[in-house]
Amino acid sequence: MLEYLAAIYKLAERQDRVTTGALAEAMRVSPPAASSMLKRLQDSGFVERSSLDGVTLTEQGRLAALQLIRRHRLLEVFLVEVMGFTWDQVALEAHRLEHAISAAFEDRIDRLCNYPTHCPHGDPIPRKDGTMPQEFLLPVTWLQPGQEGILRRVDTNEPSILRYLSQLKLTLGREVRLVDVAPFNGPVTLELLNLTNGDAGFAARQILGSELADKLYVCPVD
């Protein structure tokens, strides 16, 4: 049930109106199954539904969603920093653990990892009081040609995509310069800056499909 609330919250961040179909796709279930769960959530006071606004979280639903998102992202940090997992391995492991740990265990993770503010993919970790930190990030494709930015968030947990980005050296903290965005959803060319000696011989330019490039969020460099 809580996974549905978290999914609704995340969908609402990306689109103006959350529909049953969009939720079903996000949860990888049939529309009738999603509709049945939404009825349960509505009866429990977690969501509201209307033909105009679609599915919206109540305050109770929003707090429950943020609590689960916080726990999941803290677990991802723990799995990377303490357990030695890579960023492409943690989403599934955190999902398996998020309902198995106590609030005290969650607090210990928070302290042990020095109160992290972001998960390994750059998503902000909700605060314990139920608020979500706000930050100004842009898709890398929104930069002007020649403009630089620092990669701060990757909008996917898909392991194969994350492994591919690692191979391209497009990991969090990487400074990039937008070289070109081809028209009509064409390829995006990025220049990787500040390569180290360990990257010797590595191509300083990478060409990405527009769909993948749109998942890369940067903090523009003045």
Distance CA 17, CA 8 (A): 10
Residue 16: what pLDDT? 83
- Average the pLDDT over 172-193 and give the result: 94
Of 159, 162, 187, nearest in space to 172 by CA: 162
Architecture in CATH for domain 138-221: Roll (2.30)
Q: Where in the chain is the domain with CATH 2.30.30.90?
A: 138-221
pLDDT band at 222 (very low <50, low <70, confident <90, very high): confident
Average pLDDT in the chain: 92
Position 204 scores a pLDDT of 86
CB-CB contact of 117 with 182 (8 Å)? no
Model-level pTM? 0.90
Residue 198: what pLDDT?
Answer: 62
Q: Cite the DSSP H helix spans in the chain.
A: 2-14, 20-27, 31-43, 59-81, 90-97, 103-112, 159-167, 210-213
Question: pLDDT for 126-153, tens place per residue?
Answer: 999 989 998 899 999 999 999 999 999 9
Higher pLDDT residue, 106 or 50?
106
In the chain, CATH 1.10.10.10 sits at 2-57, 70-134
The model's pLDDT over 12-60, given as tens digits with 9 standing for 90+, comes to 988 888 999 999 999 999 999 999 999 999 999 999 998 878 899 999 9
Asked whether residue 177 carries a pLDDT value surpassing 80, the answer given is: yes
pLDDT for res 201? 55
Of the listed ranges 119-133, 142-156, 196-210, the one predicted with least confidence = 196-210
C-beta neighbour count of 78 within 10 angstroms: 24
CATH number among 3.65.10.10, 3.40.630.30, 3.90.600.10, 1.10.10.10, domain 2-57: 1.10.10.10
What is the CATH number that goes with domain 70-134?
1.10.10.10
Task: Please list the residues that pair with 190 across neighbouring strands.
Answer: 178, 206
State percent of the chain over pLDDT 90: 85
Q: Residue 97 — very low, low, confident or very high, per pLDDT cuts 50/70/90?
A: very high
Q: Phi-psi category of 130—alpha, beta or left, where left has phi over 0 and alpha has psi -120 to 50?
A: left
